[in-house]
Chains A and B, each alone.
Chain A
Amino acid sequence: MEVYGEKVMDHFRNPRNVGEIEDADGIGRVGNPVCGDIMELYIKVEEGTIVDARFKTFGCGAAIATSSMVTELVKGKKIEEARRITNQAVAQALGGLPPIKMHCSVLAEEALRKALDDYLQKAA
């Protein structure tokens, strides 16, 4: 089994912000083409700031931990700031991921990007 660091295990064990937002301002749904896992990210935006973020993920330990972490990272951020969050940043915030699990963090980045696109489209 992959060896995950303490922080990854913490987010895996107690994932933050699990769930959906009924009246979300942006939704990002992505499937991981590598192993077939799925993530959904919901954001609530007020005056250009992300005030809430929630997720649902079908995937491995790293996928769940990165989903949890990305929701933590975006909360309180301006849309433009949130756009600059990369999968590496998410992985770093978790204290790193085993190389074979880096693709799982891409899932989180893409879900975030899609949710932001969705918000901008709806807002336009």
Chain B
Amino acid sequence: MTPWLQRQRHLIDFTVEALARRKGRNLALLVVYALMVFVLASVLLFSQALRREAALLLAQAPEITVQRLVAGRMDLVPAAHLERLAGLRGVASAQGRLWGYYYDPATQANYTLMVPLTDPPPPGTMQVGPTLARFWRLGVGDVLSLRTHDGRAFPLSVQGILPTDSALVAADLVLIAEADFRAFFGIPAGLYTDLVLKVRNPREVAKVAQKVQRDLPDTRPIIREEILRTYAALFDWREGMVMVLLSGAVLAFMILAWDKASGLSAEERREIGVLKAIGWETSDILAMKLWEGLLVSVFAFLLGYLAAYVHVAAFSASLFVPVLKGWSVLYPDFALTPQVDPFQVFTLFFLTVFPYALATLVPVWRSAVADPDAVMRQ
């Protein structure tokens, strides 16, 4: 090992000793520090996870969705519309979708019943989302009875459980056959919930949407990119709101940390004097204190970030449910996969560790450049 490295090793050893000697103070600081990182990281990880869910959701969404409006409200679309749009120039394919909500009093939640466009389950069976399966303890072959629009029991046997790759999408989903869907909701043949269009040239999406509107004035075309923007705005807004709420707490922490870090105790000042008197360079003392600040802040950062990850992954950020209530009502229990974004980690690290390390250095520097003769008078 080079002398420089040896030197740093000794300084770190000394620092660890020093931290252990001021246990109470450093522990308190560590807890508050980690708590702040925890809260900030929770928000960031949570919104990141929601964004990912939304992106997954929308990746599967069609380029253009066409709804029909009657008296300003969404209504069923006749098959004639579908034929008309399929023949429109620029449209690669048009399909009619069947989906709807089913309120289940037992779980107090809305399920989304849907006929998949490809590979629908055979009549009398269904594929269910993981949340639903877990709630009813459903396995393949089990039978669940739902109530039809006119109050009859409608038994469906489980053909399969949907994968969990996007919890928000699949959590409350029930996929059934077209015939079952129509019987269940009482929707006659020739009517669809909405239509989805694939466009040949992605750059013509807006133009095709205009044509749809012109040819079928009672419809409303919805473009995927617009939904995407709306979602992004919604998440940014939520995140921003939480951040504003938190900024007060962060500020309070900064003041506390600054105060703790910048106020050298008489003991510490004395120690610095002694070290300087016996031949430690100012740079040694600064390096030693920098190590101290780094050890505390890096450890607190890791602790807080890890806790936030667990908070979001295992508890779905349950502490933030009040703020994000919209989601939790719609999706009673979904598991989020937190996304660790290196840039975000770095930003958070920089914003929390750097100011602290700096705050510890300033007073030390002031104390370390003073003449050490004061040690003679203690």
Do the two chains belong together in a single complex?
no
Give A contacts to B, CB under 8 Å. none
Q: Residues on B close to A: CB < 8 A?
A: none
